[in-house]
Structure 1
Amino acid sequence: MKLDVIVIDDSSINLVLTSHLIHKFEGCITSEFNNPKQALEWCFEHVPDLVIVDFMMPEMDGIEFIRRFRALPERADIPVLMVTANDQIEIRHRALEAGANDFLNKPIDKIEFAARVRNMLSLRRSQRKLLDQAAWLSEEVKLATNEILARERETIIRLSKAADSRDPETGAHILRMSHFCKLIASHIGVSEENQQILLDAAPMHDVGKVGIPDNILLKPGRLDPTEFDIMKQHSFLGYEILNGSESVILKAAAEIALSHHEKFDGSGYPFGLVGDKIPLFARICAVADVFDALTSERPYKKAWPDDQAIAYLREGRGKHFDPMCVDVFLENWDEVMEIRNRFKD
């Protein structure tokens, strides 16, 4: 393990002597400074493993250097050895308060110097090993978590495809729709973490359709009132399938499945929620889902032209749809087109 030792002393002879003694320790390299301000600037960019600083220096004494050094990020635990010809107890108390770990008196005794530096370097090696181990453990946890999330996302996509297999919508629809959702979320202040959750959860919005009879789900014409009541049950069915999980993605998916057919003016289902009483993810999904459904060809209908679909969104602004979500979607039309071209049927 390579260890960086910084030596600060306004005497060139002391710098040479101290550095010579440090180089006897295997793996140590030194940086020498006769100006404490320059040394402090170096410490802004580098994290030393040991600081050896003289007390009596012009412009800034050793105590002030230590105080400023300790104020730097990630420098609180670096071993600091102060060298001084002053044996006043008050000076040592001030140095300890500033953050010094140990002291050496001038003139330096080589045996005492070696013992104290050896102990401080040993301490620093232990710190470094603990830091490295913590970083390794953090990376391993991150890798394991990412693997779990990848499996969870795969399960979600497969479950979504299971619903799609009974629905004339295509797999590309859920990809476009979920990316439209992320697009809207990214422009209304949703955190990146929640944008990813929405992207992963949105494909599950219609998973409840697995429980709708084929003669209703696949009916080419308009549903009668009784059939429509049955169709509306897919919101509850999707919620029941997804609810109760500890997964944040499945929790979000359950909320979306239940609420994405609510309308901003309260005329939607299943609860007739109004405005921001509708969960934000569901309001976002409503715009994304309806737009892609309108502009996609299905066995029972032709795709609407873009201008007609845009007019429908504008007409439904504040009625069916959250005005903010509609505005953001249409204001970022180039990104909408990029997503549609990326995920073609």
Structure 2
Amino acid sequence: MPNRETQRVLICDDSITNVMILSNLLEAELNVTARAVTDPRKVIIELQQQEFDLLLLDIEMPHLNGFQVIDQVRKIYCVDELPVIILTGNMNSYTCNKALDSGANDFVHKPFDLCEVKLRSRNLLKVKQSYKLQKHLNEALEKQVESRTRDLGDATESLIHRLALAGEIRDNETGQHLVRVGKYARLLGKKLGLPAELYYMIEKAAPMHDIGKIGIPDSILLKKGVLDDEERKVMEGHTKLGAKLLGDHPSLLVQMAASIALSHHEKWDGSGYPNQLSGESIPIEGRIIAIADVFDALTTQRPYKKAWSIDDTVNFMRDKAGYFFDPQLIELFVQNIEQFLKIRKAYAD
């Protein structure tokens, strides 16, 4: 909670007598520090140099009238951030309405009733004090919420990585495969021109693309030979199972992971699974992960297969553009193959 510092009042009136009366009154009765100017052009300068809690402002002055000064002030400060009391000898409805429309908080009639000045000033100083307190509490709450959100985000990312790693271990894959697929996906998303927050989220969600394999029987998941039709149908079910495992979660990151799990085996020509989506009806995250996952799978050696050469892999994927893969993404993939290879080397098994 902020300390109760001595509040500061700025007084602007072209009469030296008036500013002296007001300064002495407020400092003596309200225990504030008063600063007085007789030139309205100096008001903004004073406000820029230090913080004030209240402005007492005359209407009729040379160079700038009070309405013009209020217009300048309200471009910088809201009505609670810097309350303004208008000093006027002409308290008619036109003056009052114009002052209120301009952003004044209150009025004091000339010649001054010192009790009235003290009362109205004290009330608005309380308004400013409440504003500062509320602002401090809001900032503290925002920091607390940001901290909690960050902690939850970190926990969600950690959980996603651990679950994904569990799925990869069952599939005889490695943790580096998860990392590479995420890095490839981020690179493609960036080259496509996606917003940074989106391609970073795709990277973080990418490791969950095959989480549904947790529910596939070992007899199918680890089978060395070709799957028969029934086994292939069960294997293809890992997409829906993954989406089901991740679905209905409030985290945008987990929602992204669910979308990837469901859509990364769809094909551009509609021949993929599970929903035979085609073209741009396939979510962009699914199209990106499809390329990242296939590239890494083909170029990585496993106990049951040899790694393809880079040339063979690139040629295969180029040939499948417009059939399996988004042709625009394949074009970006080929154009940036050297960056893909740098990632592959940096995160090798």
TM-score normalised per structure 2: 0.82
Match of 2:303, SS state, is coil
User: Is the counterpart of residue 282 in structure 1 residue 292 in structure 2?
Assistant: no
Structure 1 residues without counterparts, runs of 5 or longer: none
For 1:301 and 1:5, the matched residues in 2 are separated by 80
**Equivalent AA in structure 2 for residue 291 of structure 1:** F
For 1:11 and 1:337, the matched residues in 2 are separated by 77
* Aligned alpha-carbon RMSD (Å): 3.3
The number of aligned residues is 344
Match of 1:69, SS state, is helix
Match of 1:67, SS state, is helix
1:207-244 per-residue CA deviation (whole Å, 9 max, x = no partner) reads: 12123333443344554555433332222332332234
Which of 300, 305, 325 is the aligned partner of 1:301? 305
Q: CA deviation at 1:150?
A: 2.4
For 2:220 and 2:76, the matched residues in 1 are separated by 64
**Equivalent AA in structure 2 for residue 275 of structure 1:** G
**Equivalent AA in structure 2 for residue 50 of structure 1:** L
Query: Which residues of 2 match residues 250-289 of structure 1 at below 5 A?
Result: 250-289=254-293
User: Is the counterpart of residue 126 in structure 1 residue 96 in structure 2?
Assistant: no
Q: CA deviation at 1:260?
A: 0.7
Query: Which residues of 2 match residues 1-345 of structure 1 at below 5 A?
Result: 1-2=4-5, 3-10=7-14, 18=22, 23=27, 34-37=38-41, 39-40=43-44, 48-70=52-74, 72=75, 75-77=78-80, 78-106=82-110, 108=112, 110-220=114-224, 222-223=226-227, 225-332=229-336, 336=340, 339-340=343-344, 342-345=346-349
Structure 1 runs of 4+ aligned residues shifted over 6 Å read 44-47
Q: CA deviation at 1:93?
A: 2.7
Q: CA deviation at 1:321?
A: 1.2
Match of 1:165, SS state, is helix
Residues 1:325 and 1:63: Cα distance change in structure 2 (over 3 Å): same
Structure 2 residues without counterparts, runs of 5 or longer: none
Which moves more between the two structures, 225-234 or 121-130?
A: 225-234
1:232-279 per-residue CA deviation (whole Å, 9 max, x = no partner) reads: 222233233223444433333222212211111112122321101212
**Equivalent AA in structure 1 for residue 296 of structure 2:** D
Which moves more between the two structures, 111-120 or 272-281?
A: 111-120
Match of 2:107, SS state, is strand
Residues 1:60 and 1:327: Cα distance change in structure 2 (over 3 Å): farther
For 1:313 and 1:47, the matched residues in 2 are separated by 64
Residues 1:92 and 1:239: Cα distance change in structure 2 (over 3 Å): closer
Does the 8 Å contact 2:30/2:122 carry over to 1?
A: no
